[in-house]
C-alpha cells in the first residue's frame, strides 16, 4: 500500500481530526475516502433513480428555445 505525506495547516488538521472522529475512522481512512469519492468514475448509488422524477422539468429543446444556434466547434 502506498503512503503519501500531506502538509496542512493546524486549523485544517483540527478539522480533519474532528471529521474523522465523527465518522469513527482514522484520518488516513477519511482522506482516502475523500480521494475515492472525488475520483469515482460512476454515479453514486441512487443517482439514476432521479432521472425523470421531476414531471415538469423542461426538455433540452425547451431550455434552448429562443437561443441562437451554437457556434461551430473546431476539431482538434
Segments making up each domain of the chain, as ranges: 7-39
* Residue 52 confidence (pLDDT): 80
* Residue 51 confidence (pLDDT): 82
Predicted confidence (pLDDT) per residue in 4-62, tens digit: 999 999 999 999 999 999 999 999 999 999 999 999 888 888 888 888 888 888 888 99
C-alpha dihedral sign at 47, 52, 57, 62: positive
72 pLDDT band, cuts 50/70/90, is confident
Stated pTM of the model:
0.58
CA 10-11-13 angle, to 5 degrees, is 65
Nearest C-alpha neighbor of 8 from the set 27, 22, 26: 27
Three cell numbers written together for 30: 477519511
Q: Is the pLDDT of residue 76 over 80?
A: no
- Residue 1: how many other CB atoms lie within 10 Å: 3
For residue 23, how far is the Cα from the chain centroid? 19
Amino acid at each position: 500500500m502506498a503512503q503519501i505525506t500531506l502538509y496542512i495547516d493546524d486549523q485544517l488538521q483540527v478539522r480533519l481530526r474532528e471529521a474523522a472522529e465523527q465518522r469513527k475512522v482514522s484520518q488516513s481512512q477519511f482522506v482516502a475516502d475523500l480521494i475515492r469519492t472525488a475520483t469515482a468514475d460512476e454515479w453514486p448509488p441512487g443517482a439514476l433513480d432521479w432521472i425523470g422524477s421531476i414531471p415538469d422539468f423542461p426538455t433540452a429543446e425547451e431550455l434552448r428555445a429562443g437561443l441562437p444556434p451554437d457556434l461551430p466547434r473546431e476539431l482538434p
